[in-house]
Structure 1
């Protein structure tokens, strides 16, 4: 099962959401993202938020068309996105895709990047991805991982999000590495490219943020 979550980020950053609307996926709307899904022609299975960013008219439509509403007070310790993600993780999906998490406010974006770590830090097998028109972001822990060449996401970067990532090895990349240690703040692994249909990256300790991008 795949769970798709749409946040309230600017719509001009969204990919074509209907490309991800498969029969085995659930849609969760977060705050303004609930109304955006309805306007796109996708009915959310669940809605989360304090809904302080929607108009009265939009809120009336949300209440009328979405059966499963999870509402919260604006004064809370978690963001609406984090509350939705925590709920989604309890369902044990294979993958969670986050849309509407980039663009607009930088504090919201950085907060959304932080919650990509949730599954890895809690030892869960679910992969959490954040996707927009130009980027796909996800995190990986120690081990060997395979990536496939994608014409629409040419560049691949590896950003350490722990103080040290040990033994990073990149194979079938334009700029290969062999057992390299990279520290937090390093830009060594920014903007690499695959030289074959598949490549592998592996490391023995730490967590990396993988960013696939295009111009």
Structure 2
């Protein structure tokens, strides 16, 4: 099984971080989604697999994709799953340690929200590794109840915790500028937005609910 799977979706390229630091990762396998496949090829990255109905690429771009890739899972536009969901479920089935998703935010709000909420899919929550969405300003993960340790990152100094379920119970934050102790946080409140780590490492825990963690920079 692969250690890492990187997925590039078809979101606006100006929102995609520099892929150069990821492109040379020998432990990673790439997958492309729809127009993201074309963007990977433009950067000299050959994905192992491609997903999509490819209605967002031109005929010339589609011909280039077909000529460069062997494993293309082309789907019909009319289907129950999005192309991103198909790619993510495939990645989970490979049982890697880490899945990183790029090009999943920016552009259409419905696409961005759908991609983010995919991380709350039961298969994603039960996945034993780490799944994260990364763009130029954010790193997004979805968490089930438990205890966690996070490292201070200069690239993403701000940390926000957003309940996805109606409530998150007993949220405790230690090593943060604004600590909490066994706090009940309701969905839609802004209590846990834009916190910061004051030590090299911080810890947090909660007993029930689903929590989205967003690490950001200005």
Q: Aligning the two structures, in what range does the TM-score lie when normalised by the shorter sequence?
A: over 0.9
Work out the number of aligned pairs and report it.
215
Match of 2:126 in 1: 123
Q: Please, what TM-score do these two structures have when normalized by structure 2?
A: 0.96
Cα-to-partner distance string for 1:38-75 (whole Å, 9 max, x where unaligned): 00111111100000000000000100001110010000
Question: Are 2:125 and 2:143, in contact at CA under 8 Å, matched by a contact in 1?
Answer: no
Question: Are 1:136 and 1:211, in contact at CA under 8 Å, matched by a contact in 2?
Answer: yes
Question: In the alignment, does 2:187 pair up with 1:203?
Answer: no
Question: In the alignment, does 2:164 pair up with 1:164?
Answer: no
Q: Please, what TM-score do these two structures have when normalized by structure 1?
A: 0.98
Q: Helix, strand or coil for the counterpart of 1:167?
A: strand
- In structure 2, what is the Cα distance between the partners aligned to 1:122 and 1:175? 27
Match of 2:9 in 1: 7
Cα-to-partner distance string for 1:112-164 (whole Å, 9 max, x where unaligned): 01111135665221221000011000011111101111101010000000111
Decide which of 54, 59, 68 is 1:51's aligned counterpart.
Answer: 54
- In structure 2, what is the Cα distance between the partners aligned to 1:155 and 1:110? 20
Question: In the alignment, does 2:106 pair up with 1:103?
Answer: yes
Match of 2:140 in 1: 137
63 and 121 in structure 1: CA distance in 2 versus 1, 3 angstrom threshold: closer
Q: Structure 2 regions of 5+ residues with no counterpart?
A: none
Decide which of 75, 90, 95 is 2:93's aligned counterpart.
Answer: 90
Decide which of 179, 193, 199 is 2:196's aligned counterpart.
Answer: 193
- In structure 2, what is the Cα distance between the partners aligned to 1:14 and 1:184? 28
- In structure 2, what is the Cα distance between the partners aligned to 1:87 and 1:137? 20
- In structure 1, what is the Cα distance between the partners aligned to 2:122 and 2:174? 26
Decide which of 44, 48, 72 is 2:75's aligned counterpart.
Answer: 72
Question: 1:32 Cα deviation (Å)?
Answer: 0.1
Question: Are 1:120 and 1:140, in contact at CA under 8 Å, matched by a contact in 2?
Answer: no
Match of 1:81 in 2: 84
Q: Structure 1 regions of 5+ residues with no counterpart?
A: none
Cα-to-partner distance string for 1:88-109 (whole Å, 9 max, x where unaligned): 1111111111100010000000
Question: Are 1:119 and 1:128, in contact at CA under 8 Å, matched by a contact in 2?
Answer: no
Match of 1:20 in 2: 22
Question: In the alignment, does 2:161 pair up with 1:152?
Answer: no
